[in-house]
Amino acid sequence: MPFGRVKKTEPLDAEALHEYAVKALGRRMRTVAELTRLLRGRVEEGALGQAKIDHVLKRLKEYGYLNDADFAATYTRLRQDNMALGQRRVRQDLTVKGVDKELISETLEAAYGEVNEEELARRHLERKRVKKPATDKDAARVMRLLVRAGFSTGVIFKILKSWDVEDEALAGLEPGFDHEL
């Protein structure tokens, strides 16, 4: 699917659309918003197509195949355990995937409530095989890496200070100031 163009296909009837949705969920977990976008290309335009999508989504929710709360919890746990990503990055990813903001907040509170963010950031650096920065340029690279991974500037500041990074390299990074992603 080059450049995100969707091929025009014949609209599917309700049963075929349901099968298509189940196969899509069999490949990987999806949010309601992601599945809706996927199904929209397989139905006719307008209210009739939206009614088919709504019917399929309702059936999938009844069967327990589609649940944004389960998706958010699983996605958060995997990003935290396997990739050692910070809370901000996971929040941003879930928002892009169409999960409700309140659900995101509840999920992140449950998942990151007892987590030491500094340890998680160090684990992320280990995973990326980052060495102690030797120059200001290396320190800036580490800062950018940790910001992209979703860690607060306070945590980044603590880690770099523990590595005895020069104060000039930390000038753009104040411990009490957090940049929003």
For 109-144, write each residue's pLDDT tens digit: 999 999 999 999 999 999 999 999 988 889 989 999
pLDDT for 56 beyond 50: yes
| DSSP characters over 52-105 | HHHHHHHHHHHHTS--HHHHHHHHHHHHHHTS---HHHHHHHHHHTT--HHHHH
Q: Rounded to two decimals, what is the model's pTM?
A: 0.84
Number of CB atoms found within 10 A of residue 40's CB: 13
Residue with tokens 């095989």: 129
Does residue 49 have a pLDDT over 80? yes
> Could you give the angle at the alpha carbon of 21 between the alpha carbons of 19 and 23, nearest 5°?
70
pLDDT digits (tens, 9 = 90+) for 11-27: 889 999 999 999 999 99
Question: Judging by beta carbons within 10 Å of its beta carbon (0-12, 13-18, 19+), is residue 106 exposed, middle or buried?
Answer: middle
Instruction: List, for residues 144-159, the tens digit of each pLDDT value.
Output: 999 999 999 999 999 9
